[in-house]
């Protein structure tokens, strides 16, 4: 597979009265054509800002992309002017936002909103665009699309609106779709519908997908690879299989341990990550996670760990990555053994 997107040392900062917030602090990754990449982290870790940076949608001021390169199909899109950027946005790269309630225009019919992109990027006439809109709606599983296309967003439920957003994102056959928390605002049963839909459509059209989420569970089944972010940096990166079965950063381990799991026996106590995420203004040198880390050593306070190879295509930004190994998830294995021995799954 060819590389579709290469992000090199991207830095995005916000200039506020309290100081400079380095929301994204030097992240490097690439996306292959047609792959699904999970971008996981907690609120404030810079995952949404990194996505908005890709689209060059950072409000300036106060925000600014201060450094780095974003190579999309080999071209550095940070260097092109805004007119050229507009030709890429929506046509080759599109976005699905978290809030299906606020990301559609309430006073325009869906037909107007769907046709806009088609007329602009594909040069369709109004008639052609109308036909294509109906086509798109039926493709994302909206029943009775001829009638529905003339309706307004408030006439749709949350899940239906998210389907419309997906239809819009797909309308110009983009190469890349960025989905920012696409299912967070939806109910569990609708979440499953939307994720299945996104996966089948991106596979069908060979679209690469970046799914941004705070929930490790959501992307487990769908992502080929994962980036875990903390305090503006990617701290671990690898194939999904590797990340979930052999996490090599204490933060990833912490995330996996802090959630109760339906498939394993109930634990008497959860294992939270103690403390709070750091303030991104005046971040001290060293590893940003060290105050919450039980493996921290002196070196962590002075030297910022870079992403280091820990396995095949698997990197971790931790000086102690060797100490972590698969043992870090022992609790899961113990639980699994209990389950295998026939101890009832829900018992203590």
Partner 1 sequence: MTTMPSAEPQAAGAGQENDILLDVKNLKMYFPVTAGLIFQRAVAQIKAVDDISFFVRRGETLGLVGESGCGKTTTGRCILQLYKPTEGSITFEGQELTGLSTRQMRTMRRQMQVIFQDPFSSLNPRMTAGNIIGEPLVVHGLVKSKTEYRERVAELLQNVGLNPYMADRFPHEFSGGQRQRIGVARALSVDPKLIVCDEPVSALDVSIQAQVINLLEDLQERFALTYLFIAHDLSVVRHISDRVAVMYLGRLVEIADRNDIYRNPYHPYTKALLSAVPIPDPVIDAQRERIILSGEVPSPLNPPSGCVFHPRCPIAIDDCTRAIPDLREVEPGHWAGCIRVEGYGSY
Check residue 138 for interaction with partner 1 (CB under 8 A).
Answer: no
Binding mask 159-178 for partner 1 (x = CB under 8 A): xx------------------
Check residue 217 for interaction with partner 1 (CB under 8 A).
Answer: yes
Check residue 346 for interaction with partner 1 (CB under 8 A).
Answer: yes
Check residue 24 for interaction with partner 1 (CB under 8 A).
Answer: no
Q: What are phi and psi of 165, to 5 degrees?
A: -60, -40
DSSP secondary-structure letter at 179? E
Question: Using CA atoms, how far apart are residues 282 and 285, in angstroms rounded to an integer?
Answer: 9
Check residue 147 for interaction with partner 1 (CB under 8 A).
Answer: no
Q: Indicate the residue among 132 and 180 with the shorter CB distance to partner 1.
A: 180
Q: Indicate the residue among 96 and 255 with the shorter CB distance to partner 1.
A: 255
Q: Indicate the residue among 112 and 267 with the shorter CB distance to partner 1.
A: 267
Check residue 125 for interaction with partner 1 (CB under 8 A).
Answer: no
DSSP states of 211-270: EEES-HHHHHTT-SEEEEEETTEEEEEEEHHHHHHS--SHHHHHHHHHS--TTSPPPSS-
Check residue 215 for interaction with partner 1 (CB under 8 A).
Answer: yes
**Which burial class, exposed, middle or buried, applies to 270 when counting CB atoms under 10 A from its CB (0-12, 13-18, 19+)?**
exposed
Q: Indicate the residue among 82 and 188 with the shorter CB distance to partner 1.
A: 188
Question: Using CA atoms, how far apart are residues 235 and 247, in angstroms rounded to an integer?
Answer: 11
Check residue 244 for interaction with partner 1 (CB under 8 A).
Answer: yes
Check residue 39 for interaction with partner 1 (CB under 8 A).
Answer: no
What is the distance between the terminal CA atoms of the chain, rounded to a whole angstrom?
46
Q: How far is the CB of 299 from partner 1 (least distance, A)?
A: 24
* Secondary structure (3-state) at 316: strand
**Helices and strands (H, E) in the chain, number of each type:** 13, 12
Q: Indicate the residue among 120 and 192 with the shorter CB distance to partner 1.
A: 192
According to CB under 8 A, which residues from 255 to 274 bind partner 1? Answer: 255-256, 258-263, 266-267, 269-274
Binding mask 175-194 for partner 1 (x = CB under 8 A): ------------xxxxxxx-
Stretch of 64-72, 200-208, 236-244, 305-313 contacting partner 1, by CB under 8 A? 236-244
Q: Please answer whether residues 114 and 98 qualify as being in contact, where contact means their C-beta atoms are separated by less than 8 angstroms.
A: no
- CB contact set of 188 (below 8 Å; sequence gap of 6+): none
Question: Using CA atoms, how far apart are residues 331 and 338, in angstroms rounded to an integer?
Answer: 11
Binding site for partner 1 (CB under 8 A): 42-43, 157, 159-160, 187-193, 196, 214-218, 220-221, 223, 240-241, 244-245, 254-256, 258-263, 266-267, 269-274, 276-277, 344-347
């Amino acid at each position: 597979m060819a590389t579709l997107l290469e992000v090199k040392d991207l830095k995005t900062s916000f200039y506020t009265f309290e100081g400079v917030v380095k929301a994204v602090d030097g992240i490097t990754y690439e996306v292959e054509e047609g792959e699904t990449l999970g971008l996981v982290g907690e609120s404030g870790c810079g995952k949404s800002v990194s996505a908005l940076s890709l689209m060059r949608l950072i409000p300036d001021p106060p925000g600014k992309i201060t450094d780095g390169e974003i190579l999309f199909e080999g071209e550095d899109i940070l260097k092109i002017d805004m007119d050229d950027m507009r030709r890429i946005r929506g046509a080759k790269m599109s976005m699905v936002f978290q809030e299906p309630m606020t990301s559609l225009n309430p006073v325009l019919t869906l037909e107007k909103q769907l046709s806009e992109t088609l007329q602009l990027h594909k040069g369709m006439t109004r008639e052609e665009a109308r036909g294509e809109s109906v086509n798109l709606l039926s493709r994302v599983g909206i029943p009775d699309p001829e009638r529905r296309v003339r309706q307004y967003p408030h006439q749709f439920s949350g899940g239906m609106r998210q389907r419309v957003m997906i239809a819009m994102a797909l309308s110009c056959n983009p190469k890349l779709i960025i989905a920012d928390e696409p299912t967070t605002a939806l109910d569990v049963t609708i979440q499953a519908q939307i994720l299945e839909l996104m996966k089948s459509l991106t596979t069908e059209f060979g679209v690469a997908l970046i799914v941004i989420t705070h929930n490790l569970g959501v992307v487990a089944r769908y992502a080929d690879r994962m980036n875990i972010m903390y305090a503006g940096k990617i701290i671990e990166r690898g194939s999904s299989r590797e990340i979930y079965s052999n996490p090599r950063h204490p933060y990833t381990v912490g995330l996996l341990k802090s959630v109760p799991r339906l498939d394993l026996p109930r634990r008497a106590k959860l294992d939270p990550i103690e403390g709070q995420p750091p303030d991104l203004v005046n971040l001290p040198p060293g590893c940003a996670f060290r105050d919450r880390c039980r493996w921290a050593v002196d070196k962590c306070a002075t030297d910022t760990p870079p992403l280091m190879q820990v396995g095949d295509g698997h990197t971790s930004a931790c000086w102690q990555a060797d100490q972590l190994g698969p043992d870090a998830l022992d609790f899961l294995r113990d639980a699994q053994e209990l389950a295998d021995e026939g101890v009832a799954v829900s018992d203590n």
